[in-house]
Amino acid sequence: MHFETADIVLAFGMLIIGFLYWNLIRIDSLGLGVTLFAAVLWGAASVYFRISGIKQTRAGLLASGVFLLSAVNFVLFDITLIKGLNFIFISLAFVFWVLVTAGKRLEEKISLYAISDMFYQLLVIPFTNFSGCFSGIRQVFAKSKRGKGVLSGILGILIFLPVLVMVITLLSSADAAFEGIIDHIRFSVSENLFEYLFQIILGLPVACYLYGMLYGNRYQRNTGNVTLESVNKNLDFFRFAPGVTVYSAMTALNLIYLVFFLAQASYLFSAFEGSLPQTMTYAEYARRGFFELCAVSAINLAVIAGAHLIAKRDRVKVLRGETIALCIFTIALLATAMSKMGMYISYYGLTQLRVYTSWFMVLLLAFFIIILLRQFKSFQGTQAALVSFLILFMVLCYGNIDGLIAKYNIERYQAGTLESVDLESMSYLSDAAVPELYRLYQETEDEGFKKDIKAAILGNLYEEHSGSVAAVSFRDFNLQSYQADAIRNTLTEAGAN
């Protein structure tokens, strides 16, 4: 392996970044620490590519914008599920940015070939260049015999440190005198030292993985010999099914859906009229419709993907017609299910599940509309689907979902269109809901209701934190929690006075 000065500096820098990955990112909170780590990682990679002569393209700048926009979300909002999804998204977004910036895509445009590109970026390139980080560092120490010894000693200590800790723990449990010596050492050493050492050890594979990705892309080392021709040849291997077999199966499936729609027309489309089938509640009606939607949509997506993958291209128009029929059936069911959900929300208000369900239905609707249009006109369907997902995902991340839920339900309650405010369910929302609950607290004159609202705002604060706000580090900070803590402190101080 060949190493220039920039490669060696990056190797040492990645050791620090590997440590920061575990030090800054707290999985249970995912706050400011994620934003800081993302900025450091992106900055280091950008400088490395720039020094290496790899310039940012327009596509690279767009990918950077998406990555950084995703990173900022962690410091602003406090919705656990969305932050968890966003953490997965930002990890993939960084890999995609490296792919685009390094110019290693099979096609310059966004297409299904990106699946192959991402596979190599995620698994092949980083792991086939996994030893590059230590190889670069070794070049600094390999200039002298003493340097080699120092490096070997450091690596030995780091590798066997977990074993040493385990042995020390067992010996401390076995002998009181030895335990006293260890306790004295712990008292003399910073209490965070052992945590830092543990984070350094865990950061080593992270450093090697990230370095392998960047180094491999710079030098095109172990990037594979994948070409459009080789991928297409592999795809041709899967096209083994005679067209008549696939088309017959799809026709049978479409006929089943047609019979289903005709038999269930009054039930499925009653939501458009605002009516409810007998013996069913609004909750049962909407939920049943949603799970039907999920099953049918998943089946249809799998059938469409499978048919286009395995069918021989002898009668393309027939395949296109079957795909159109499946898309129309699915879009009709999606529209019906969305009407059901609208009816459900109009009677019972918003919850997290209802919002996420509605978002998922809109996403599916966008996908099937794109697939349908793609059968009539040639355009970059994969790019359209990706853009649709990015827009909807950013709406989900920046839509302040919990705050929206609280505001919607409270405003409808105050307007008299919602029977009550479910404070119990609102108490399980994130800190995004606290400002809206506090506004209701200030505007309500019913003392009993005010007491319940206050309990919902404080949540389990007194049980978990013994009457005080838990101390958190800067890694856990986000703006919504900061604002919510200020409101809680105000309520606590007012209660004390």
Q: What is the DSSP string of 455-478?
A: HHHHTTHHHHHTTSPPP--GGG--
**Above 70 in pLDDT, residue 154?**
no
Cα separation, 166 vs 162, whole angstroms:
6
Beta bridge partners of 311: 241
Structural domain harbouring 406: 402-496
**What is the pLDDT averaged over residues 304-331?**
84
Give SS3 for 444. coil
Please give the pLDDT value at position 149: 67
Please give the pLDDT value at position 132: 93
What's the pLDDT tens digit per position in 212-232? 999 999 998 877 677 777 777
Instruction: Determine what percent of the chain is predicted with pLDDT higher than 90.
Output: 48
For the record, the structure tokens of 125 come out as 């390139």
**Do residues 282 and 430 share a domain?**
no
Cβ–Cβ < 8 Å for 434, 484: yes
**Do residues 52 and 195 share a domain?**
yes
What's the pLDDT tens digit per position in 253-274? 889 888 877 876 666 666 555 5
Please give the pLDDT value at position 460: 47
Position 391 in a domain: no
What's the pLDDT tens digit per position in 273-315? 555 666 666 666 666 666 667 777 778 888 888 888 887 766 6
Cβ–Cβ < 8 Å for 402, 76: no
What are the backbone angles phi and psi of residue 311, rounded to the nearest 5°? -75, 135
**Do residues 337 and 360 share a domain?**
yes
Give SS3 for 103. coil
Give SS3 for 311. strand
Cβ–Cβ < 8 Å for 454, 441: yes
What's the pLDDT tens digit per position in 374-385? 999 989 999 999
Number of residues that this document lists for the chain: 497
Position 255 in a domain: yes
Domain boundary among 218, 236, 254: 236
What are the backbone angles phi and psi of residue 241, rounded to the nearest 5°? -80, 130
**Do residues 328 and 475 share a domain?**
no
- State the pLDDT confidence band at 157, using cuts at 50, 70 and 90: low
**Do residues 252 and 340 share a domain?**
yes
**Above 50 in pLDDT, residue 470?**
no
**What is the pLDDT averaged over residues 463-485?**
72
Secondary structure letter of residue 269 according to DSSP: G
Position 283 in a domain: yes
**Do residues 31 and 78 share a domain?**
yes
Domain total of the chain: 3
**Do residues 250 and 177 share a domain?**
no
**Do residues 92 and 152 share a domain?**
yes
**Do residues 258 and 321 share a domain?**
yes
DSSP sequence for 189-245: S-TTHHHHHHHHHHHHHHHHHHHHHHHHHHHTTT-----HHHHHHHHHHH--B-HHH
Least confident of 67-71, 104-108, 132-136: 104-108
Position 394 in a domain: no
Please give the pLDDT value at position 191: 59
Domain boundary among 219, 236, 253: 236
Number of Cβ within 10 Å of residue 100's Cβ equals: 23
What's the pLDDT tens digit per position in 407-436? 999 999 999 999 888 888 888 899 999 999
**Do residues 342 and 408 share a domain?**
no
Please give the pLDDT value at position 467: 38
Position 393 in a domain: no
- State the pLDDT confidence band at 173, using cuts at 50, 70 and 90: confident
**Do residues 254 and 158 share a domain?**
no
Position 294 in a domain: yes
Please give the pLDDT value at position 274: 57
Please give the pLDDT value at position 95: 97
- The gap from C-alpha 331 to its chain's centroid, in whole angstroms, comes to 26
Give 158 or 203, the one with higher predicted confidence.
Answer: 203
Position 397 in a domain: no
**Do residues 259 and 346 share a domain?**
yes
Domain boundary among 386, 418, 434: 386
What's the pLDDT tens digit per position in 72-86? 999 999 999 999 999
Please give the pLDDT value at position 262: 80
Instruction: Determine what percent of the chain is predicted with pLDDT higher than 70.
Output: 83
Cβ–Cβ < 8 Å for 75, 35: yes
The letter for the amino acid at 219 is: Y
Cα separation, 30 vs 301, whole angstroms:
33
